Amino acid sequence: MRTPLMFALVALLFQTIQADELTLAREKNYLIIQGAHIPGGEIRIHYLEAYCRAGSTEADWIKHTVIKHTNELISISADRKTMKLRDVLADGVTVEHTITAKSDEVSFLLKAHNPGKVRSEAHWSQPCVRLGAFTGFNDSASKNIDDYLPKCFIFLDGKLKRMPTADWAKEARYIPGQVWCPKNVPRNDVNPRPLSKNVTSNGLIGCFSGDEKLIWASAWEPYQELFQGVARCLHSDFRLGGLNPGQRLDVRGKIYIVPNDVPALLKRYQRDFPEHQR
């Protein structure tokens, strides 16, 4: 027999499930991940900040590195769970994005294509994830843009290391910031911010929420670099590698927003990105 109490419990459970759901929105050049349980209610991503040429580590960002592109919102589902975007680069390369939100992650499936007759100069691209509110440092008046660093982490020698890590680099064409380049990417082809001499143990970068109850983390395959920037942001920047005429390339990524359980996060990451495991 169904009692009023049972109905109330079912309604409460439904509200809890709904509250923990992630949804998507688009505003100008920002992809917005929304959820009632996220500090600040949302995470904004400059998506995409830029498509980039190789030879970028010592180069002028505007005059050399950035390749102009246009972006179009193709569709967003009624439940705001699935979004489709299309980028067209100045050299004719197209990138189709399918972005899907679930309860505790957002997945990205990109299909890049060079329909032209000339090799593309687009080697990598930047999703810039703004994490000030998530980490508890969202004071726009503060001049300390590194205040959120102790909440951020990478993995070195198989262990989680909070930033700033040992051997923190401080010199580059543009400062501050920090770049970690994987072994398979030329160190001349990454962001022109201070380049760490360390190579991370994997392609996962993340941070803890202000109250340490949640973790935000991200990974892409293939990836060009991990990066900590100047907008209280973290990047896992994906790799295109310069598409040959007619070439197609699939790129995939994940953003995790999960409880603070690092071993569980690593297990999930290892399942999703077996290519990153040494």
Query: Model confidence over 57-90: pLDDT tens digits?
Result: 999 999 999 999 999 999 999 999 999 999 999 9
**Structure confidence at residue 3 (pLDDT):** 58
The rounded mean pLDDT for the chain is 94
Specify the DSSP class assigned to residue 82.
E
pTM of this prediction?
Answer: 0.92
The closest alpha carbon to 269, from 160, 152, 150, belongs to 160
pLDDT at 46 over 90: yes
Q: What is the mean pLDDT of residues 112-128?
A: 98
Q: Span 184-198, mean pLDDT?
A: 98
Which residues are within 8 A (CB) of 239 and not within 5 positions of it... i.e. 6 or more apart?
A: 123, 124, 185, 220, 222, 223, 224, 251
Percent of all residues in the chain with a pLDDT value above 70, rounded to a whole number: 92
Output the CA–CA distances (angstroms, integers) from residue 200 to 47, 120, 158, 237, in the order listed: 24, 28, 8, 14
The encoded tokens of residue 192 equal: 């022109």
Q: What is the DSSP letter of 38?
A: S
Q: How far is CA 160 from the centre of its chain?
A: 18
Q: 168 by DSSP, 3-state: which? A: coil
Phi and psi at residue 272, in whole multiples of 5°? -75, -30
Q: Which CATH number fits domain 22-276: 3.40.50, 3.30.230, 1.10.10, 2.70.98?
A: 2.70.98
127 with 234: CB under 8 angstroms? Answer: no
Closest by Cα among 163, 166, 190 to 179: 190
Q: How far apart are CA 132 and CA 209, in angstroms?
A: 9
CA-to-CA distance for 275 and 165, rounded, in angstroms? 25
Secondary structure tally for the chain: helices H, strands E: 3, 17
